[in-house]
Amino acid sequence: MKQTILNFTRANSGLVILFLLAIPLTLLSPDFLTGNNLLTVALQVSMIAITAIGMTFALITGGVDLSVGSVAALAGALAAGLATRSGLGTYPAMLLALAAAAAVGLVNAAMIVWGRIPPFVATLATMAAARGLTLVYTQGKPISGLDEQFTFWASELGKIPVPIFVLVFVALVTYVILHRSLFGNYIFAVGGGEETSRLAGISPAKVKFGVYVISALCAGLTGLLLTARLWSAQPNSGTGLELDAIAASVLGGASLSGGAGSVVGAVTGTFIVGILSNGLNLLEVPSYNQQVIKGLVFIVAVVLDYVMKQRLK
């Protein structure tokens, strides 16, 4: 029992940091803890959170996926283009766009597994290539004229924005995959010890293929939501998304050296960043100063996380 509590606290230290952050903001700003404000934050973070979940999968294996921002842009552009210009219909277009995202994930995995290229380098290459494909496909111009079926994905149901439902759905599915399924178990195994996993009859290659496809699918889904929200596909959307996603995953307890990370952590990590931005806006901190504060909070959070883990040992 004691062991279970210990393991839980260790795996979910992001939640603790989230609470530590929410308390002063609630005290300092009367607007912070209101339903409307929290929904705004949730909408802003939901898309990054989906990408961060996928990123966490890659980080747990000891890899990283830098191509997520470009994949999001590519998927968004393809979906918008195929739906409007090619007249495929919204849903077939979306599915094809996700398939294209998955294909980039397969290319990443192929380079990493068969080409033995370090994930940082392999995904840096696809980051450039996918962005280039997006620019070629869009000719550098936004694609607009989306129908209601498409923009529905950024509308509201009741008072709750649809992307939040999508996040909850993605989080539930990935939670089961990562923390309950055999495949999830093997992701942790490969990240904790690749040779050990191989000797236990696990195929690290299959695990990596799965992981990079999941990461790319999450990024693709984020791209669709971004497109729906802007009512158009922007060729430069998703720039810097990979850094937000990595930061969120690490804040949520994922380790860059592999073996650690969780879906709950990825989501809480994104919320930490989102709530911090939101709080600073509410407190009317100038946006240039916000950057500095965010950087400092990131350092404090990571150090705090490290200290807590050491204490719990």
Partner 1 sequence: MTPSRLQLEHIVKSFPGVLAVQDVSLEAYPGEILALAGENGAGKSTLMNILSGSFPADSGKIWLDGVEVNITSPRRAQELGIAMIHQELALIPQMTVAQNIFLGREPRLAAGLLVDTKKMVIQAQALIDQLGLDFPVTALISDLSIAQRQMVEIAKAISFQSRVIILDEPTSALSERESDILFALMRSLREQGVTLIYISHRMEEIFNLSDRVAVMRDGQLVGVTPTKDLTIQTVVQMMVGRELKDFFPKKQAEIGDVILDARELRSGKRVRDVSFSLRRGEIVGLAGLVGSGRTEVARILFGADPLDHGEIKLAGRIVHLHSPEEAIRLGIGLVTEDRKAQGLFLGQSVRSNASVLLFEKLAQLGFILYSKVDAWMRGAVTQLTIRTPNLEQKVRNLSGGNQQKVIIARWLAVNPQVLILDEPTRGIDVASKAEIHTLMSELAAKGMAILMISSELPEILGVSDRILVMREGRLMAEFSRAEASQDRIMQAATGQLAAG
Which span sits near partner 1 by CB under 8 A: 39-47, 77-85, 189-197, 208-216?
Answer: 189-197
Site for partner 1 in 127-166 (CB under 8 A): none
DSSP structural state of residue 157:
E
Binding map of partner 1 across residues 284-313, x = CB under 8 A, - = no contact: -----------------------------x
Asked if 182 is part of the footprint of partner 1 (rule: CB under 8 A), the reply reads: yes
Which span sits near partner 1 by CB under 8 A: 64-72, 92-100, 103-111, 200-208?
Answer: 200-208
C-alpha 169/C-alpha 50 separation (Å) is: 10
Binding map of partner 1 across residues 19-58, x = CB under 8 A, - = no contact: ----------------------------------------
Q: Exactly one of 192, 205, 283, 290 binds partner 1 (CB under 8 A); which one? A: 192
Which span sits near partner 1 by CB under 8 A: 130-138, 157-165, 186-194, 207-215?
Answer: 186-194
Contacts of 140 by beta carbon, 8 Å cutoff, 6+ apart: 235
Which span sits near partner 1 by CB under 8 A: 18-26, 154-162, 175-183, 218-226?
Answer: 175-183
Listed as own residue / partner, the contacts of 25-34 with beta carbons closer than 8 Å and 24 or more positions apart are 25/275, 25/279, 25/282, 28/279, 28/283, 29/279, 29/282, 29/283, 31/282, 32/278, 32/279, 32/282
Q: Which residues of 221-254 are buried (b: 16+ CB within 10 A; e: fewer)?
A: bbbbbbbbbbebbbbebbeebbebbbbbbbbbbb
Token pair listed for 194: 């690749």
Token pair listed for 203: 């195929």
DSSP structural state of residue 34:
S
The residues binding partner 1 (CB under 8 A) are: 3-4, 7, 176, 180-185, 188-189, 191-193, 195-202, 259-260, 313
